[in-house]
Structure 1
Amino acid sequence: MAESSTTKSIYLEVRFAILQGAYRPGQILDRNELCQVYGCKSAIVVDALNVLVHEGYLDIPKRGVFGVRTWSTVEVNDLFDIRATMMAMAAARAAERRTDLEVGILGRALEFAAPFDYSDADATERFITSCAGLQNMVVQMARVSTISEIARSMGPNALFRKSVWSQNPRQLNNMWKRMEQTCQAIAHRDANDAHVRMTEFVEATRAPLLVSLKTLPSAAWPEFPAISRINCSITVNDCRYGPGDREVGLDGRTIPFGAHQSRQ
């Protein structure tokens, strides 16, 4: 249990440090330093970092090395073009194939999530996990096996959180409105409107993310950041963020720590 708790702490704090810019794109995270800071074995650190690789926060530029992933504008645009097309298709198919039970579950999920007070970190986190969960529900309701299989790769968790962190409350409310409209169209069996509203939702996440990528400082930073415990509390664009928790991917899975991952 202690190892599991430590693994999650490393995961949450490294994720938070990346999102707030303490660890910059391209920087290498020193595993030995992480072990010293968190007082744990290398295997525990690797278990946490491997999950961050799966979710798009880190990459492995060479064997045994973990670096903060750099997302280019071209890469993000290509990914969002694919995601917009496939998620819109999923929403349309969900509208055609949904059951009354599924519509009831969607309605309850919307009702229990909102309203959001973004000055409260727990409420902001509820926004993130609710949006992630609703998107996965739409994917599952579509009953298109191809979309389910590639859902995670076309919508990495990291890009969704980065997009949320780049927005203000007005923009986040606009995102939520598009999600509500998508779910309403599904409930009314309006495939065309579901297609349009889901496309709008995806586009509402793309634009702020691209702006945030363009505003990254141009100055070079050290290859290795100073590793330290992170105070996971910050206000960005009038929204309060804490350490949060883990959200599902578009495919509905939450990658378990240490599962099917090599300890490099």
Structure 2
Amino acid sequence: MTILLKSVSVRHDGAASSAFALRELTLAIAQGEQVALIGPSGAGKTSLLHTMACALKPAQSQAEAQFLLYGLDPWQLSSTERHALRAKLFLAPQTPPLPPRQRVVNAVLAGALPQWSLWQAMRSLIKPIDPARAYAALSRFNLQDKLYARVDRLSGGERQRCGMARALISSAEMFLVDEPLSALDPTLAVQTLEVLQAEARTRHATLICSLHQVELARAHFPRVIGLRDGRIVFDAASDQISDADIAALYRNRRDDAPVQETSAQAVVTLVPRC
């Protein structure tokens, strides 16, 4: 398995000891899979992506807890080894970290930084090393005319697509993408999703994408994971998920009955997973 989590809990630094963002998650994802994460705000989608990207360290509260990435426990590696492992990943946050005064061409080519030496990185800041490559990536999102625009002149949706173009420049074997469609209209949302999925298929990369657009998740992803309150509610093939499952996932908290603590084994799995 590319990713294996077993009874993994995570809390953010500075949070109260009982405030877990993820609670005893057990999950396995194979190389090349395309998975959508859905759930209400605060469900733990971003925390799960950051855990997979080795940006959040699992809590040590469970002796049986295990997190493996490409067969390795990243938190048992040296910082140098963990950095090399992270080079296989591309984490795309909802708001791309693009320097506002930077030109789009430089922002996109930054996706290649893990492949470059320090000298190449510094040289590209002065004169972009491969603008044609950035142009090709931007053109897949209909942004090629923004190649030399400043990042702070882009709209929110253009910034998001610029961040996705940066992902195409990378050599990542796994894309961890957080809400890439939040600032896009319906047509651009579908186009952007299709480009990401096509790129993942071409390089046999794993794609894990959190979405608030439930119908896009069900229509475009073969596997959908529903999260709520830091727990997996369902993990299923998209055609096995009913409207009732979605309604229960997003039910208003005021309508919730008192919830008893459940173990990781109590997670509803609608389709058996390896």
Instruction: Give the TM-score of the pair, scaled to structure 1.
Output: 0.25
Higher helix share: 1
Higher strand share: 2
Instruction: Give the TM-score of the pair, scaled to structure 2.
Output: 0.24
- More relative contact order in 1 or in 2 (CA 8 Å, sep 6+)? 1
